[in-house]
Amino acid sequence: MATYTSSKKENGLVYSFSASRRWAKEGYISGTLYDAFSLFGALEFQINSKNSIGATAIFAQNRRGRSSAITKEVFDLAGKGYNPYWGYQNGNIRNSRERKIAEPIFMLNHYYESDNFNLNSGVMYQSGANSRSRLGYYNAPNPDPIYYRYLPSFYINSPIGANFISANLAKEGFLKNPQLPWNNVYTANNQDKASYVLYDDIVSDSQFAINTIGNLRFDNQFDIDFGLNFKNLKSENFAEINDLLGADFHEDLDPFSETQNNLGVDLRKREGDKFNYHYTIDASQLNAFAQFRYSLNKWNGFVAGNYSNTKYQREGLFQNERFLESSMGRSEQLSFTDFGIKGGLSYRITGRHWLKANAAYMTKPPVLQNVFINPRENNEIVPVLQSETINSADVNYFVRLPKLTGRLTGFYTRFQNTTDVNFFFVDAGVGSDFVQEVITDLDKLHMGLELGLEYQLSSSVKLSAVAAVGKYLYASDPNVTINFDTAGKDEDLINLDGNIDLGIAKVKDLRLAQGPQKAFALGMEYRDPKYWWVGVTTNYLANNYANISAITRTQSFYLDPETGLPFQGATDENVSKLLRQKPLDNFYLLNLVGGKSWLKKGKYISVFGSINNAFDAVFRTGGYEQSRNGNFGQLREDNLSGNPSFAPKFWYGYSRTYFLNVAYSF
């Protein structure tokens, strides 16, 4: 990276430029290439003592290979650095799942500053694309090397009895060829119509925003802050063929129902063509806020309020044969009006001790991803959609002594009426299908204590201690509905909207996947008068949980899809044992940091280095339960061997890693 900033010119102009490049053939996880660059430019012109204008432009392009969460079975076979998304092609690493981002930003701002009034106004425009590639297969074997039928557990957990010979052959086959078989993909595509297609899911956004924020000071005790913001988003979403992998064309049909994804057009798609789905989303939001601050000798307080109006609308550009009435054209326009109020009060006991408390009540619109049930194919909206309600409060104690500084915080936040939409394949008490799971009326609770302390042992040595103990859990039993294609389905099982209401999911008091809910750290830092320093921190992280499957906590989990009756043995006690939420392993980390700086003839040189996870601990950072086994019978059978085929999938933390940074300023 190189950055240049000018001195202020006589005409009031100052400018800055920066450029950077970052790349890697692979990251820590195998097959994860990284290729990025960025450009930055800014200038500011001082019109007079009170007014100035500034312009900023940022262009950052990023391309990187993605990796996958893996089950314990795959971890035991291939290790934590394993990534199934890549394979060798002509001796080179090729990742089937790359992410590319290129969304330049342009901003223009006006600044006004006076003794009692400040105003910052600006406009912003951002456009560009965010794409994710994947390998699609059509009436062909799944190319994923960790597809459950290719692993030993598939043969061990077979409903007709364990086959250890086949399981061992599967193990040997996986260890011999653990990566994606690009050569086999090209061989299968040695025909006119493609069996495999590499394609991109693309989101092409154009966003415009205008914003103004002001501050008005009446005296040394009373201030008013205010602001107004409007932003408008036009988001185009589609799939585009990246590589036909040796074939001549792809036939744009849904492989499960043999229905067309876009009626009235040529089914044969070639590289660069849009296929599968194509729609746009229009979203806009107007937001206004005001804040009043008041200060006395020992008391400080504020009260603030905001108002917002948010609108969403989908327009389908493909007429999907599975959703003839709801796929094409504009959806209903959704509008959410929300508000919030918050306040805070602080009391200075002495110059070294003070207290502070804050409280808030607000409503927020549902995020765009949780508004439409299946936006790629139709205009259907989550039923009874409502804004999320948030109640929050925190109390803080601060201390600042000559050698000791610290803060103790207690916090409580409750999120109500949240909505979540998920996509997966499920075998449930109502049958098997690719479904959209809609979770509504979900409440979440965050509460806990945090403590941070720093002690200056001497002029060169500083000690630090941090503790965070939280409880992050589901605070209600939400409703679950699954939605799917109506083409070729038994209409007796579904309503006119193509969904099944599974009722309540028993998740209340289960833990959220928010990361470790207990964290403790002790650190020591030494700074030498000769401008070098070193620090060490030991960390203990505990009570981390994987994300749960909601569908397995509904009454449909008890039902045999063959009979519609409860499975034998599906008692509440047995189901609770089978679905018991287990925390991930607790773990320790030791991190080292250090640096040195020099000042030579007005030139500044600095070196900074770090070693993370110095003792090479193995730990899981997070994960999720798979929802495929959506009924008691299948999940029980899958777990009998102790090595289930559809076990939870986890992400693993890095081993010992190193970082070195060198900077030269002149």
Give 87-128 as a DSSP string.
EEETTEEEES-EEEEE--EEEEEEEEE-SSEEEEEEEEEEEE
Q: C-alpha angle 630/635/637, rounded to 5°?
A: 145
Average pLDDT, the chain: 94
Note the pLDDT tens digit of each residue in 180-206.
Answer: 999 999 999 998 999 999 999 999 999
Q: Which helix (H) or strand (E) holds 46?
A: strand 34-46
The pLDDT, as a whole number, for residue 498 is 64
DSSP-based three-state secondary structure for 355: strand
The pLDDT, as a whole number, for residue 486 is 54
Please report, as a single letter, which amino acid is at residue 559: L
| Total residue length of the chain | 666
Q: Among 238-247, 422-431, 491-500, whose mean pLDDT is lowest? A: 491-500
DSSP-based three-state secondary structure for 469: strand
The pLDDT, as a whole number, for residue 496 is 44
Please report, as a single letter, which amino acid is at residue 329: G
The pLDDT, as a whole number, for residue 424 is 86
Confidence class for position 492, pLDDT limits 50, 70, 90? very low
DSSP-based three-state secondary structure for 411: strand
Q: Among 187-201, 225-239, 485-499, 615-629, whose mean pLDDT is lowest? A: 485-499
Q: What is the DSSP letter of 644?
A: -
pTM of the model: 0.92
Residue 534: alpha-carbon gap to chain centroid: 33
d(C-alpha 569, C-alpha 566), whole Å: 8
d(C-alpha 125, C-alpha 492), whole Å: 50
The pLDDT, as a whole number, for residue 255 is 87
For residue 293, give both structure tokens.
């601050």
Q: What percent of the chain has a predicted confidence (pLDDT) above 90?
A: 88
d(C-alpha 481, C-alpha 461), whole Å: 58
The pLDDT, as a whole number, for residue 432 is 65
For residue 51, give both structure tokens.
């007014």
pLDDT of 419 higher than 90: yes
pLDDT of 495 higher than 60: no
Q: What is the DSSP letter of 550?
A: S
The pLDDT, as a whole number, for residue 220 is 81
The pLDDT, as a whole number, for residue 108 is 98
Confidence class for position 512, pLDDT limits 50, 70, 90? very high
CA distances from 200 to 23, 197, 243, 244 (A): 22, 10, 9, 12
The pLDDT, as a whole number, for residue 12 is 85
The pLDDT, as a whole number, for residue 387 is 97
pLDDT of 290 higher than 60: yes
Q: Which helix (H) or strand (E) holds 312?
A: strand 299-316
Q: What is the DSSP letter of 521?
A: E
pLDDT of 383 higher than 80: yes
Burial string for 406-415 (b: 16+ CB within 10 Å, else e) reads: beebebebbb
- State the DSSP string of 255-321: TTT--BSSTTS-SEE-TT-EEEEEEEEEEEEEEEEEEEEEE-SSEEEEEEEEEEEEEEEEEE-S--G
The pLDDT, as a whole number, for residue 270 is 97
DSSP-based three-state secondary structure for 268: strand
Specify whether the CB–CB gap between 481 and 421 falls below 8 A. no
The pLDDT, as a whole number, for residue 428 is 63
d(C-alpha 111, C-alpha 119), whole Å: 6
Please compute the mean of the pLDDT values over residues 322-328 and round it to a whole number.
93
Closest by Cα among 650, 435, 441 to 556: 435
pLDDT of 630 higher than 90: no
Note the pLDDT tens digit of each residue in 216-268.
Answer: 998 888 999 999 999 999 999 999 999 999 999 999 999 888 999 999 999 99
What are 452-460's contacts with CB under 8 Å, separation 24+?
Answer: 452/406, 452/407, 453/404, 453/405, 453/406, 454/404, 454/405, 454/406, 455/403, 455/404, 456/402, 456/403, 456/404, 457/403, 460/526, 460/527, 460/528, 460/529
Q: What percent of the chain has a predicted confidence (pLDDT) above 70?
A: 97
The pLDDT, as a whole number, for residue 248 is 96
The pLDDT, as a whole number, for residue 319 is 97
pLDDT of 602 higher than 80: yes
CA distances from 36 to 67, 292, 374 (A): 18, 44, 32
Q: What is the largest CA-CA distance in the chain?
A: 86
pLDDT of 596 higher than 70: yes
d(C-alpha 366, C-alpha 338), whole Å: 11
Q: Among 81-85, 157-161, 184-188, 642-646, whose mean pLDDT is lowest? A: 157-161
pLDDT of 532 higher than 60: yes
The pLDDT, as a whole number, for residue 491 is 47
Specify whether the CB–CB gap between 308 and 348 falls below 8 A. no
Q: What is the DSSP letter of 147?
A: -
The pLDDT, as a whole number, for residue 566 is 93
Confidence class for position 429, pLDDT limits 50, 70, 90? low
